[in-house]
Structure 1
Amino acid sequence: MTTAVKPTGPDRQEFSERLLKGSVKKSYEPVVDIDWDAPLDPDKFFLPPRTVSLYGTPLWDSMTRAQRIELSRQELVNTLSAGIWFENILNQALLRKIMHTDPTSRSTHYALTELGDETRHMVMFGKAIERVGAKPVRPRLYHRMIINTLPFFFRGSVLWVAALIGEEIFDSLQRQMMDDPELQPIIQRLMRIHVTEEARHIQFARDGLRKRTPKMRRPERWFVGNVNGLGGWFFRYLFTNKVQYARVGLDARQARQMARTSPHRHEVQVAGFAPLAAFLDEVNLMGPIARRGWARTKFL
């Protein structure tokens, strides 16, 4: 005879209760918790220089400090714009999920709390784009059509993997850059707020995935473990979006090619993806096709 092994650690409801208590203790209202009237320092960057896509390339070496700062501003705006559209997708997917869950459960209550956080983040990103005096990078029509379709596919394990891909890479990079002395103070504050609240969202998604993976059937495990490799192609497109180079007056095609082949940029991307890569390995959701995709896009 064998004895069933009881899973260690808190169950989903207990874990959600912990996150709810953490949200009560430490949450922000960016409209009032950021000094939007604070002046911008004309000699400071909007992203730390080492995280700008062209850093370490011959093109970067040929640019003036003012041009480098402007590129950091446009890359920040590009990233914040993508953050707004991703939060939109995640919120739609969470709302659809909540429709089929117990409205009295702690996990539902935390999902609703996360929705509130994300809507405030969308406002924060929008205000930041306006404050730095730039225009958002709007998705094209076919991009918007895809964005509105994705929530229908973000279900079960796919939802949690998508949430981690969309949140954890940004979170990891922000943790590395938010204390950089060359960064605009208003952006430092934005990143600190985002990192604090996203830490709970990442824990919620990781816990959801940890509890689902042991119950996955082989076809689902294979699909989820390999489809996540598409994230590398998405971020490759995002981080080297030609719009940000064109707005600075650079040859967009040349700049994108130089960024994509930059050894330093490869190191930055690997460092940003490392925590998520380790987690996907831990839960056996880094399949061979996904691994190839992340490697080809220079995240592994």
Structure 2
Amino acid sequence: MTVTDGEKRDRVASRLLKSSAEKFFDPEVDMDWDAPLEDGKAWLPEHRQSLYGTKLWDKLTPEQRIELGKQELASILSYAIYAECWVGMMFLRSVTEGDLIGKRSQYALTETGEEARHSTMFAQLLCKMGVEPYRQPKFLLYMFRFISFVPLGPFAYGSVMLVEEILDRAQREAMNDPTIQPHVRQVMRLHVMEEARHIAFARDEVRRGMESRGRIRRAPHRFFLALQAFGVFPNLVHPSIYRSVGINPLRGFIAARRGPHYKANLQYFCEPMARFFVDVGMYEGFLTKKLWRMSKGLPDDLI
């Protein structure tokens, strides 16, 4: 008997639903929020911080480097809350516009709940850190609204990967680093365990969506994903973080972008995702390739 594409998708959703039930984490229960922070512990690995390797970094004291890492983490967590709220809205759209009660819709609802818990966990960590969140500029919030009207498909699920896979790659490295604050490592560990399901679901949807479309119908999905990647990467680290160590935001932003490790770090975070996009046909067309090259997130051997 031939298995239809819809049945294959339901099988993937059923497997992920079972995994969600068996490997469920609640930050209220699984995190010891009352435990004190540890003095002298870093918030991010030094070699992954935006100014690492620059002349501005060399002028910072050890205490300033820790503070800058703290603010950089706060910026990333703040962006992640925005992004996961958008992901939740997209999944709710997929339910209301699709099969309301099918396995795929059930998993979409399950993932929406998990993303909400992750955002709550990030908010709790920001409170524990004692820092204010970094808000995105209004024009980007308007862009989020615009994207909400874009038809669901490879672009939408590729957008999920842009945030989830970058965070996943960074967190897998940091959560095993004993020099990082224990609260941060535990948050990263819980997030990675559940995000593995989300990434698997998004990859399956992107691959199936691209396979079901011809070259012309693929084009807008490729272009808008590349355009979003070009905009997402610089916004993960808010320029205002540099004020915490007495550096002008514009000067810090330029130094970070021109730094010797900016491109290498971005390629490290993006490599598994970028290779997947190339494999499924998301990296085709002149404008798409131009935007990806400008974003600096594509490994050199794929350019």
Amino acid at match of 1:264: H
Matched, 1:191 2:188: yes
1:12/1:209 CA distance change after superposition, 3 Å: same
Corresponding residue of 1:68 = 65
Contact kept, 8 Å, 1:98 with 1:108, in 2: the verdict is yes
Contact kept, 8 Å, 1:90 with 1:151, in 2: the verdict is no
Match of 2:287 among 262, 286, 289: 289
Distance 1:107 1:236 in 2: 30
Distance 1:154 1:237 in 2: 25
Alpha-carbon distance, 1:254 to partner: 1.4
Corresponding residue of 1:299 = 297
Identical positions, percent: 35
Alpha-carbon distance, 1:182 to partner: 1.3
SS in structure 2 opposite 1:102?
coil
Structure 2 matches for 1:1-300, cutoff 5 A? 11-153=8-150, 155-287=152-284, 288-300=286-298
Unaligned 5+ segments in structure 2 are 299-303
Corresponding residue of 2:301 = none
SS in structure 2 opposite 1:11?
helix
Distance 1:92 1:83 in 2: 14
Distance 2:186 2:152 in 1: 33
Aligned residues: 296
Distance 2:267 2:138 in 1: 31
Distance 1:216 1:142 in 2: 32
1:61/1:154 CA distance change after superposition, 3 Å: farther
Give me the TM-score of the superposition, normalised by structure 2.
0.92
Alpha-carbon distance, 1:154 to partner: 5.3
Distance 2:224 2:141 in 1: 21
Amino acid at match of 1:292: K
Where in structure 1 do 4 or more consecutive aligned residues deviate above 4 Å? 5-8
Q: What is the aligned-residue RMSD (CA, Å)?
A: 1.9
SS in structure 2 opposite 1:228?
helix
Distance 2:157 2:282 in 1: 12
Contact kept, 8 Å, 1:75 with 1:244, in 2: the verdict is yes
1:237/1:281 CA distance change after superposition, 3 Å: same
Unaligned 5+ segments in structure 1 are none
Contact kept, 8 Å, 1:93 with 1:152, in 2: the verdict is no
